[in-house]
A and B are shown apart, each in its own frame.
Chain A
Amino acid sequence: LSHEPGGDWGDLARKLDWELRYVREEDAFPVEQSGRPWLPGEAWRDWEEPYRTSYPDYVEGQHRKEEAVRAVRDALGRVSDVEKLDRAWLSAVKLHTATFTLAEYAAVIGNLRAARFGRDAAWRSTALFGALDECRHTQIPLLIAHDLVRFDPQFDWTHRLFHSQCWVGVAARRLVDEMLLLADPVEMAVATNFVFETGFTNLQFVGLAALADGAGDHLFRRMATSIQTDEARHSQIGWPVLVKLVAHDKARAQYLVDKWMWRTWLFFSVVTGIAMDYLTPLAARTSSFREFVGEWVLDQFLPLVERAGLERPWYWSTLQESVAHYHHMVYASAYTYRSTVWFDMVVPGPEERRWLAAKYPESWPDYEPVWDRISERWREAGPGLELAVQGTAIVGFCHMCQLVLSGGTPRRNAAVTAEHGGERYIFCSEPCRWIFEQEPERYVGHRDLVKRVLAGEAPGNLLALLTRYCGLSRPVWGKDVRNGDYPWLRTPDEGAR
């Protein structure tokens, strides 16, 4: 019998399923664990995905990938190699490793739930490979970053972020906990395998990886593309589950796609948008974040949604505006509160601003005055005076995504409020409020940083908040990459414009 995909033995192993005689199917696969809509097993028997990998194939393929990554790490992963890289680019790496690494570990658990409670044996087999994949995706960046901690303690946040109360960590946990730990296998397949992995991970693991080569970071490129080959395989769980969901409960399918597309969008806009358009050296930028989104999400992923028989998300116009604004809003905000995160940031200089203006002609003019003011503050303060160019007021956070209230545009912030059970809530945007209103009982218990401060659980003093509550310290917290010492700031005639 052949082990090859489609071979007799391979298919027998992948599709080998239980014939239940001592328990009811509803007890072996309870709806709470297996997901809604609950369908009899017979309805899932035609479930199929294109890779049809056997275990021997999997082990052999993964071994080859591991060897390739290890070879690059041995050749290029030394501190002396990393020291040569642009400091702002290193911040893109720190942002990536801290936000993805332990999320991948949560994905191990989500995949293992599907490997037990997924409704077809082939789905469960693929999810088991997915769990092994995600274990690898946790271990590779942890290994690489661990080597670098002695060179730069900010790399320690590859592991620490998800265990901290730093607002980015709170937001990332909020997303990951629901998407990977709380979601049943049906919701996880739509949220993670279809929307997150099929729709968006190309932005980071292909798009940003390509920019990494230009930045001279071949280790990052190798790591990311190796991970993406795994993602491409196990993401295939999403489509057949979505198709089944559309056939039996189209309204729920639409709801899940709308919900997770928005939440996923915010995550990638912050992580990939900032990395591509601000932290990547200008010479290495081949395309803007918006161009990557246009190619990977709008041109390739969105037609898939429509092919499944679903509509574009109801907030389509909001999403389009957000593509041109959201990461610019967040980056300018975060720059002025950079001591609240674990990586350094850079002021876009005249050349970067010309590039951004060309890539975002209709939205960038809103951000010129913001960076003019920040540049002017650096000019007045002089290099090294970090705290003179930092915000001190308490920032507002969205109750849903837990990110800063940076929806909309500088002309009109998109924040909206709602009341539920006598409590008041604020959201960064209409889609975040809509998600809350669909299942308020799922979200009311979460308290954002502002509510924790007001309840006395977190200190209101910024320094105490950073050190005692968020776990940051002066050597680690974010600073300006060049300590404000930009050549173009030195004389008024060579000002920011």
Chain B
Amino acid sequence: VTLVPLYGFLEGDTLGLLVLARSSQSVEELATTLRRAARLRAGFDGPAEVTFAGRVLSPSSTVASAGLRPLDRIDVRRVRPCP
């Protein structure tokens, strides 16, 4: 297990934060970590999705299997209902 520093951006927040993720950590846990770190300024009810390079990552994938590398940018956004 290695630590993977990532730049995380929570929808509604005013700045990007550094998230120290474990390579074995799930994407869902990653989203929770960022939501907790930013909750003083931003947050939303309900499920979130993590996007990276324009694609939505599977919540059950890990940081390593999702192909996230140190200093990548990830976004955590509110899941919107399908139109």
Residues of A within 8 A of B (CB): 328-330, 332-333, 336, 366-367, 369-370, 373-374, 377, 389-396, 404-406, 410-411, 413, 415-417, 424-426, 450, 454
Distance to closest chain B CB from A452 (angstroms): 12
Complex interface: chain B residues within 8 A of A417 (CB): 7, 71-73
Instruction: Give the complex CA separation of A328 and B16 in angstroms.
Output: 15
| B39→A396 contact, CB < 8 A | no
| A393→B41 contact, CB < 8 A | no
Interchain CB contact (< 8 A) of A333 among B14, B43, B69: B14
Number of chain B residues close to chain A: CB under 8 A: 26
Distance to closest chain B CB from A378 (angstroms): 10
Complex interface: chain B residues within 8 A of A391 (CB): 37-38, 40-41
| A329→B40 contact, CB < 8 A | no
| B42→A410 contact, CB < 8 A | yes
Distance to closest chain A CB from B35 (angstroms): 11
| B14→A415 contact, CB < 8 A | no
Instruction: Give the complex CA separation of A393 and B20 in angstroms.
Output: 10
| B12→A396 contact, CB < 8 A | no
Mask, B65-83, CB within 8 Å of A = 1, is 0000111110100000000
Closest to B16 in A: A405
Instruction: Give the complex CA separation of A275 and B5 in angstroms.
Output: 34
Distance to closest chain B CB from A425 (angstroms): 8
Complex interface: chain B residues within 8 A of A377 (CB): 40
Instruction: Give the complex CA separation of A411 and B75 in angstroms.
Output: 11
| B71→A370 contact, CB < 8 A | no
Interface residues of B in 16-37 (CB under 8 A from A): 16-20, 37
Mask, B40-61, CB within 8 Å of A = 1, is 1111000000000000000000
| A406→B15 contact, CB < 8 A | yes
Complex interface: chain A residues within 8 A of B20 (CB): 394
Dominant secondary structure of chain A at its interface with chain B? mixed
| A405→B40 contact, CB < 8 A | no
Complex interface: chain B residues within 8 A of A395 (CB): 15-18
| A415→B37 contact, CB < 8 A | no
Distance to closest chain A CB from B68 (angstroms): 12
Residues of B within 8 A of A (CB): 5, 7, 9, 11-20, 37-43, 69-73, 75
Distance to closest chain A CB from B80 (angstroms): 12
| A410→B11 contact, CB < 8 A | yes
Would A396 and B15 be within 8 Å (CB), given that A417-B72, A426-B71 are in contact?
Answer: yes
Interchain CB contact (< 8 A) of A394 among B11, B17, B41, B71: B17
Complex interface: chain B residues within 8 A of A450 (CB): 5, 18
| A329→B14 contact, CB < 8 A | yes
Instruction: Give the complex CA separation of A229 and B9 in angstroms.
Output: 44
| B71→A424 contact, CB < 8 A | yes
Instruction: Give the complex CA separation of A328 and B15 in angstroms.
Output: 11
Complex interface: chain B residues within 8 A of A394 (CB): 17-18, 20
Interchain CB contact (< 8 A) of B12 among A369, A390, A392: A369
Distance to closest chain B CB from A449 (angstroms): 10
Would A410 and B13 be within 8 Å (CB), given that A370-B42, A389-B40, A393-B18 are in contact?
Answer: yes
Complex interface: chain A residues within 8 A of B41 (CB): 332-333, 336, 370, 373-374, 391
Complex interface: chain B residues within 8 A of A328 (CB): 14
Instruction: Give the complex CA separation of A329 and B12 in angstroms.
Output: 10
Q: Which of B41, B42, B73 has the most CB of A within 10 A?
A: B41
| B42→A411 contact, CB < 8 A | no
Ranked nearest first, the 9 interchain pairs of A and B with the lowest CB-CB distance are A405-B16, A393-B37, A333-B15, A396-B16, A394-B18, A424-B71, A332-B14, A413-B9, A329-B14
Distance to closest chain B CB from A94 (angstroms): 22
| B14→A410 contact, CB < 8 A | yes
Instruction: Give the complex CA separation of A1 and B70 in angstroms.
Output: 70
Task: Identify 30 residue pairs between A and B in the complex whose beta-carbon atoms are under 8 Å apart, listed by A's number.
Answer: A336-B41, A366-B12, A367-B14, A370-B13, A370-B14, A373-B40, A373-B41, A373-B42, A373-B43, A389-B40, A393-B37, A394-B18, A395-B16, A396-B15, A396-B17, A396-B18, A405-B15, A405-B16, A406-B14, A410-B13, A413-B15, A413-B16, A415-B7, A415-B9, A415-B73, A417-B7, A424-B70, A426-B7, A450-B5, A454-B5
